């Protein structure tokens, strides 16, 4: 288990906390390696044939088998254990953050001459698609403040998101998504030399920092709807010595002028908005780009049209049991059409998969039509829509 920490805002673990996290990660490993294959067999070898006999055709969509599968005791156990280790890990990290909340807060407040900035809006209205759910069962989601000027959700999210993925998205920096986006930009748009970049829905800035590193001469702006994430993101960026301007804004309609950016991106965020919001975010990206500027939105690669029956079940887990109600819809949406409806010309839009690229490297200019063989594995490939504004 990794024990080194990337920056002073990252909550540390003591011995007992580390032991508990290690146990929960082993439990997760057991589910992924031992229980997932059994649930897959249950789906394909028992449930699908029964449903086929009942409906007179081979089921191809998860919706056709859900009722029958959910009646199976093993599947119920599978669902329960998947949720259990995740809830316990949030609980464990939450307690660890609470133990050191005061010292982390002192570190945050000790920043006296920031190179970047933080602009919060006390009258900001957090959209209902955020306030209505505890996203991926993270209690209070991103926006809830438990104390004045709270940053707790940011601290929990920073530690949790790298731990939960076994540090496979760039270790404690968790910056693999950002580098994958940057790789796509330099490969598909080699002439674009961005001088002003906007990262929409930045959370604690994992991808933002990667973009700052990959385009060091660009001014980097990052927005999010959740004040606690932004407080933490700003302190984290200052401690790791990266200049970023954070502000609390809804990516559906920001206060930046028309044509202000060369590059507008988001990473793994659209599935936490809604289909209506996604359309607005594409339109806003178009408005914010100067002619020749590029939009690139990266998402979890669970595209239902390329998944087998059980892989669809696994992807649907997020929407049905993990408080990600819009994920399945975003995974089925026609992103090309959304980009065209937002004002981009059909010839200027690319949609497809990009292999996970942990450092900015030039790769194929075109996105691939297929994802990694295991379509549900986010760290194998990502799904991207990019487009140039004419």
- Give the residue, chosen from 252, 284, 311, 316, that forms a contact with ligand SAM under the rule CB under 6 A: 252
Question: Who's near 308: CB < 8 A, 6+ residues apart?
Answer: none
Distances 265 to 5, 189, 246 between C-alpha atoms, Å: 27, 14, 14
- Determine, following the binding rule CB under 6 A, whether residue 104 of this chain makes contact with ligand SAM: no
Could you say whether residue 225 binds ligand SAM (CB under 6 A)?
A: yes
Q: Binding mask 114-143 vs ligand SAM (x if CB under 6 A, - otherwise)?
A: -------------x--x-----------x-
Say whether residue 318 binds ligand SAM (CB under 6 A).
Answer: no
Give min distance, CB of 187 to ligand SAM, in A. 19
Taking CB under 6 A as the binding criterion, the range among 3-11, 85-93, 200-208, 321-329 that sits at the site for ligand SAM is: 200-208
Instruction: Name the minimum Å distance from CB 161 to ligand SAM.
Output: 7
**Burial group, residue 305, by CB count within 10 angstroms (0-12, 13-18, 19+):** exposed
296 Cα distance to chain centroid: 14
Residue 326 contacts ligand SAM per CB under 6 A: no
What part of residues 267-296 is at the interface with ligand SAM (CB under 6 A)? Answer: 267-269, 272-273, 277
For tokens 């408005």, name the residue.
287
Residues 141-180 as x/- pattern, contact with ligand SAM by CB under 6 A: -x----------------------------------x---
Under the criterion CB under 6 A, does residue 215 sit at the interface with ligand SAM?
Answer: no
Smallest gap from residue 99 Cβ to ligand SAM (A)? 24
Farthest CA pair distance, the chain:
70
Nearer to ligand SAM, 223 or 288 (CB): 223
Question: Between 183 and 273, whose beta carbon lies closer to ligand SAM?
Answer: 273
Determine, following the binding rule CB under 6 A, whether residue 96 of this chain makes contact with ligand SAM.
Answer: no
Q: How many residues does the chain have?
A: 390
Considering only the stretches 75-83, 113-121, 198-206, 305-313, report the one whose residues sit in contact with ligand SAM under the rule CB under 6 A.
Answer: 198-206
223/307 with CB nearer ligand SAM: 223
Q: Does 263 bind ligand SAM (CB under 6 A)?
A: no
Query: What CA–CA distance (Å, rounded) separates 143 from 152?
Result: 10
Q: Does 64 bind ligand SAM (CB under 6 A)?
A: no
Q: How far apart are alpha carbons 75 and 65 in whole angstroms?
A: 12
Please report whether residue 226 would count as binding ligand SAM according to CB under 6 A. yes
Name the minimum Å distance from CB 154 to ligand SAM.
9
Which residue number, 70 or 149, has a Cβ lying nearer to ligand SAM? 149
Residues in CB range of 67: below 8 A, 6 or more apart: none
Beta-bridge mates of residue 222 = 199, 246
Count of chain residues binding ligand SAM (CB under 6 A) = 24
Residue 300 near ligand SAM by CB under 6 A: no
Residues at the interface with ligand SAM (CB under 6 A)? 127, 130, 142, 177, 200-203, 206-207, 223-226, 229, 250-252, 267-269, 272-273, 277
């Amino acid at each position: 288990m990794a024990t080194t920490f990337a920056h002073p805002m990252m909550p540390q673990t003591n011995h007992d906390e580390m032991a508990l996290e290690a146990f929960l990660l082993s439990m997760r490993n057991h589910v992924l390696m031992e229980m997932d294959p059994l649930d897959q067999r249950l789906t394909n070898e028992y449930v699908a044939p029964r449903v086929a006999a009942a409906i007179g055709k081979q089921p191809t969509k998860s919706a056709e088998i859900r009722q029958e599968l959910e009646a199976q005791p093993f599947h119920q156990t599978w669902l329960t254990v998947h949720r259990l280790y995740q809830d316990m890990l949030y609980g464990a990290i939450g307690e660890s953050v609470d133990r050191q909340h005061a010292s982390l807060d002192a570190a945050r407040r000790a920043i006296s001459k920031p190179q970047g900035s933080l602009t919060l809006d006390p009258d900001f209205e957090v959209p209902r698609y955020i306030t209505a759910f505890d996203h991926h069962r993270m209690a209070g989601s991103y926006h809830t403040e438990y104390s004045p000027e709270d940053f707790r959700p940011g601290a929990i999210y920073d530690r949790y998101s790298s731990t939960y993925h076994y540090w496979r998205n760039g270790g404690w920096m968790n910056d693999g998504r950002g580098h994958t986006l940057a790789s796509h930009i330099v490969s598909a748009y080699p002439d674009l030399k961005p001088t002003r970049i906007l990262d929409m829905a930045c959370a604690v800035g994992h991808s933002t920092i990667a973009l700052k590193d990959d385009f060091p001469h660009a001014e980097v702006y990052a927005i999010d709807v959740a004040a606690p994430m932004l407080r933490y993101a700003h302190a984290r960026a200052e401690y790791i010595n990266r200049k970023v301007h954070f502000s609390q804004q809804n990516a559906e309609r920001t206060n930046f002028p028309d044509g202000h950016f060369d590059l507008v991106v988001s990473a793994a965020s659209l599935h936490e908005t809604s289909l209506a919001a996604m359309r607005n975010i594409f339109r806003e990206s178009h408005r914010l780009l100067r002619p020749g500027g590029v939009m690139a939105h990266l998402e979890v690669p669970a595209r239902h049209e390329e998944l087998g029956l059980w892989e669809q079940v696994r992807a649907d887990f997020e929407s049905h049991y993990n408080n990600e109600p819009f994920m399945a819809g975003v995974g089925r949406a026609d992103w090309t059409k959304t980009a065209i409806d937002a004002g981009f010309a059909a010839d200027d839009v690319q949609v497809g998969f990009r292999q996970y690229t942990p450092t900015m490297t030039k790769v194929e200019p075109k996105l691939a039509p297929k994802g990694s063989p295991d379509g549900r594995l986010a760290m194998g490939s990502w799904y991207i829509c990019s487009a140039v504004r004419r």
